[in-house]
Amino acid sequence: MSHLPAIGFIGLGIMGKPMARNLLKAGFSLSVSSRSKEKMDELAREGAHPCHDYSELVGRSEVIITMLPDYQEVRDVVLGPRGIRPYLRPGMIVIDMSSIDPTVSIEISKQLAERSVHFLDAPVSGGEQGAIDGSLAIMIGGDADPVQKCMPIFEALGKNIVHVGPVGAGGFTKLANQIIVALNIAAVGEAFVLAQKAGLDVQKVYEAIRGGLAGSRVLDAKAPKLFQRDFKPGFRIELHRKDLKNAMEAAKNLQIALPLTASLQQYLTALCNQGEGSLDHGGIVRFFERLNGIEIGKKV
């Protein structure tokens, strides 16, 4: 696969569509499949080939990429009765770039191996902007040979690309990532609730702390939007709750305690129950605002 492989891309959501667009810009032959005809038509105008059935998509492709909400959709698309498995040819590579339960990735890999098809789990971090910019962090699990063959694909999508281990390792790495991001956002929420209640200018507090040890990419990405009350989704609260659920399931299987993650998962569940699951995960701060009757950034 020294040439650029033909790619079939399944899932054109907030992350998937800009990722597919970057593959087109990098010169890949791209076929796309989505439940949204509008999104397929949009990419077709940019050079992609829209496919309305998986037999056509797989037939036109050497590598299949899935970017879907959770493991149920990934399992259904890859292994389900109407999925891609019957059409896969020996030597093909399937890359799942969704954030799912790593044990499901391992299960899919074993079943595809029976057809001599390689499987990589390669979840990403960086949100919608990272997908648009082609600057995603990509955590790859799988055998070294297919990883190397697919490196031009990963390089078209991201900047920080690490092969972390066998199949499943990508998913476990993403769970660790999601724990750190969610807890960072929660800490930002609590900290600025304190500053707001003390009567401080939260913008100045942000400027004072961002250059010290409390500074982080999460702080820089979320605090300005928080002050502007901008919770337009780049990565939705309901999806982050799903990731923390998968982290807690992994913790159960590994027989370890993750008390901070467990508490935060409950906070996200409360926000979803209050109708805010479709907000950006920066909206996690709203839990702490409500708890204290405070709106960060509001003049006091």
Tens-place pLDDT, residues 107-153: 999 999 999 999 999 999 988 999 999 999 999 999 999 999 999 99
Q: What is the pLDDT of residues 62-86, one digit of tens each?
A: 999 999 988 999 999 999 999 999 9
- d(Cα 30, Cα 93) in Å, to the nearest integer? 15
pLDDT for 127: 87
Q: Is the pLDDT of residue 254 over 80?
A: yes
Q: Is the pLDDT of residue 165 over 90?
A: yes
Closest CA to 137 of 108, 99, 182, 107: 99
The β-bridge relationship of strands 7-10 and 136-141 is unpaired
What confidence tier does 298 reach under pLDDT thresholds 50, 70, 90? Answer: confident
Q: Is the pLDDT of residue 299 over 80?
A: no
- Residue of 17, 39, 174, 242 with catalytic role: 174
Q: Is the pLDDT of residue 11 over 70?
A: yes
**Average pLDDT over all residues of the chain:** 95
Q: Is the pLDDT of residue 293 over 90?
A: yes
C-alpha to C-alpha distances, 276 to 51, 129, 182, 231, 297, nearest whole angstrom: 34, 21, 16, 10, 19
Q: Which of residues 3 and 48 earns the better pLDDT score?
A: 48
What confidence tier does 1 reach under pLDDT thresholds 50, 70, 90? Answer: very low
Burial 116-126 (b: 16+ CB within 10 A, else e): ebbbbbbbbbb
What confidence tier does 300 reach under pLDDT thresholds 50, 70, 90? Answer: low
CB within 8 Å of 23: residues ≥ 6 apart: 7, 9, 30, 153, 156, 157
- d(Cα 109, Cα 160) in Å, to the nearest integer? 24
CB within 8 Å of 214: residues ≥ 6 apart: 191
pLDDT for 166: 98
Size of the chain in residues: 300
Burial 186-219 (b: 16+ CB within 10 A, else e): bbbbebbbbbbeeeeebeebbeeeeeeeeebebb
Q: Which domains does the chain have, with CATH numbers?
A: 7-167 (3.40.50.720), 173-292 (1.10.1040.10)
Please confirm, yes or no, whether 174 is among the known catalytic residues. Answer: yes
Contact call for residues 34 and 44 (beta carbons, < 8 A): no
Q: What is the pLDDT of residues 192-240, one digit of tens each?
A: 999 999 999 999 999 999 999 999 999 999 999 999 999 999 889 999 9
> 32 is written with which tokens?
């796309």
Closest CA to 96 of 68, 117, 126: 68
